[in-house]
Every structure is written in C-alpha cells, then in structure tokens.
Amino acid sequence: MSRKNQTLGEFIIENQSEFQYSSGELSRLINSIRLAAKVVNHEVNKAGLVDIVGAAGETNIQGEDQQKLDVMANNTFISTLTNRNIVCGIASEENDDFITIEGQGEDHKNKYVVLMDPLDGSSNIDVNVSVGTIFSIYRRVTPPGSPVTLEDFLQPGRNQVAAGYIIYGTSTMLVYTTGHGVNGFTLNPAIGTFYLSHPNMQFPDMGNIYSVNEGNYNHFPNGVKKYIKYCQEEAENRPYTSRYIGSLVSDIHRNMIKGGIYIYPKSSKAMNGKLRLLYECNPMAFIAEQAGGKASDGFTPILDLKPTELHERVPFFCGSRLMVEKAESFMSNS
C-alpha cells in the first residue's frame, strides 16, 4: 500500500504484513540500511572536500585499489547492521571472507544474512560520477544457534527475501523490493527523510537504450557483437542510444525508468565477465524481475544460478524484457 508523500519509515510499517514469517526483524533490517545510507550519502557528497578520496593504500580480493570511501561505506554498513542485533552474517565485496555476527544474548538466533557491494562504481568517485550501494538479504538456511556457514551465503538468488540499491546521484534514492514490487524513495537532505517518489517501478517491456562497454567489442562473444550491430542497424525501433556510465546502479536505474538493456558479457579478457553474482547480479536481477524486466547470463535466469563461490563472477544481461530476450536469441544462435 502506498500513498503520496509517504516516508520510507511509514511505508515499511504499513507494509510489514507482506514480510512472510517476519516478526519485525526484516523491517528493522531495512531501517538500518536506511540509516547507513544516510551516513554514506553524507560522506560521498563531500568527497571532494576532504582528503577522503583516493586509494586507501590497500587492495581488495578483486585486486582493485580500495578507495577510502569504499572502506568508509563498508565499515558503515557493517557496523550499522552489527549493532542492531538483526543479522547473523555479512558478506561484502570488500571482505575476502564472510563475517559472522555474534548474536547478543541468545547466540546466533538472528535469522538474516546480508550480502553487499558497499560502494559500487567507486572508480567514478574522483570524477564526480554517481555511485551506488547494492544489498541482498536472505534467511539463513543452517539451523539457528550455531554460527553461519558459507552455505548460508551461497543460496540461489531466487531465495532472496529482499534486495535493493542506493544511488548517490543528483539526488540520493533508495530502491528496494521484498518480493512485492519495486519502490523508490528519494532523500530530502534538508531533513534526512526518504520519501516515496517512485511507487511500483516498472521496466518498460521495450526500450532503445543499450549499455555496454564497447571498448571491449573485439573481445565479446559473437552473439553480443551481433546484438550490438542489431541495435545499431536493424532494430525496428532504432535509432538506439548507447549510454554507459560505468556505474552499474546508475545504468540500470536509468534503464528501468526509460527502458533499456545493460550487458556485461564474458570476453576473452574476462572469461566469466566482471560482475559478481552474489552482491551485484542477484540483487539487481531480483529488482529487475520484480519490475517486470529480465536478467540472465545470456542463457539462464540469474536468479536460478547456484552459486559456488562468494566472489564468483557471471556474465550479466539485465533490463527490458523484450530487449533481454532479443539479446538471448543472438547468444543462443551464435
């Protein structure tokens, strides 16, 4: 249920009944993400003003320079989630292994695990391009009372109970789903409140925006090369527009509003593509499907893939249903 000018807090309370089996913990979990988003937003928005930008002098498991804001965002979400005694485990792009949260009081009774990319697209920070946080929430599958195991994190995306992203752009938005559609909330920075600005977000079935790093064209599979040529020369609704920000959250958010497809395929340089299944592709795929769109690895729905490693990468095709299906047809016939 949604109404004009509803705050995120009111929305969570008024839709509490949708959270199956939840005794309010999932609501409190979404609320803690809301708080962390405000803290990160404050730091991201002043990145150019203080010496917080630039590599923190460390590299993460991906071998990428960790930006100081990456580290800040990671620490902020971890501490906010840990302090509220809601989750039993956290996995992050910035941490080699998952984190076990020792339950206060009754040990290990908390039932949710959170997987996240705390600041996706962080290489854009230095050039003032929007970045995002991506999160994915599951119920643990191992019995409560004992520490979480890797099995609790390696669940297929179909098991997600909630997923979403925060986009730190011209305005800051929190967009999420609990399996009952996708809703977008815009932060009023003057009072620090998120307001429902985009109720029931839907991917248009068709669009004419394609988002792919064409600098890698020569390394793409033939099916991707043929689809790009289709967009440029054959599509009935051409001309298409190529829009690629280099920030997953921004590209998909724009395509969800305007219609479009985002592709990060495998290539001869990256045999499984670049994006991580657990905390980038699965949450964005849950959002996409809940918004009437599609997400696959070019052949199989992302949400049906069985993860085998915490930081595994998969090819990613995500967006307007008919555009993803067209791209998949080129992949299947090449």
Binding-site residue set for substrate: 120-123, 213, 244, 274
The residue range among 36-44, 95-103, 224-232, 240-248 that interacts with ligand P6P, by the rule CB under 6 A, is 240-248
* Residue 153 or 262 having the CB closest to ligand P6P: 262
* Residue 71 or 101 having the CB closest to ligand P6P: 71
Question: CA 272 → CA 209, 220, 298, 323, distances in Å?
Answer: 24, 11, 11, 21
* Residue 199 or 221 having the CB closest to ligand P6P: 221
Instruction: Count residues binding ligand P6P (CB under 6 A).
Output: 10
Nearest CA among 331, 310, 313 for reference residue 115: 310
The residue range among 10-18, 36-44, 117-125, 304-312 that interacts with ligand P6P, by the rule CB under 6 A, is 117-125
Residue 246 binding ligand P6P, by CB under 6 A: yes
Q: Dmax of the chain from CA atoms? A: 63
Q: Residue 271: CB partners within 8 Å, gap ≥ 6?
A: none
The residue range among 12-20, 77-85, 118-126, 232-240 that interacts with ligand P6P, by the rule CB under 6 A, is 118-126
Query: Are the CB atoms for 39 and 168 separated by under 8 Å?
Result: no
- The least CB distance from residue 203 to ligand P6P, in Å, is 17
Residue 39, both tokens: 């803290």
- The least CB distance from residue 108 to ligand P6P, in Å, is 32
Nearest CA among 181, 243, 183 for reference residue 213: 243
Query: Are the CB atoms for 53 and 45 separated by under 8 Å?
Result: no
The residue range among 19-27, 72-80, 242-250, 292-300 that interacts with ligand P6P, by the rule CB under 6 A, is 242-250
Cα–Cα dist 47/241, whole Å: 31
Cα–Cα dist 281/297, whole Å: 9
* Tokens 């409140």 -> residue: 193
- The least CB distance from residue 247 to ligand P6P, in Å, is 5
Alpha helices in 157-233 (DSSP H): 222-233
Q: Backbone phi, then psi, for 101, in 5-degree steps?
A: -95, 115
Residue 272 binding ligand P6P, by CB under 6 A: no
Of 47, 90, 248, 261, the one binding ligand P6P by CB under 6 A: 248
- The least CB distance from residue 177 to ligand P6P, in Å, is 20
Would you tell me which residues interact with ligand P6P (CB under 6 A)? 120-121, 123, 213, 246-248, 251, 274-275
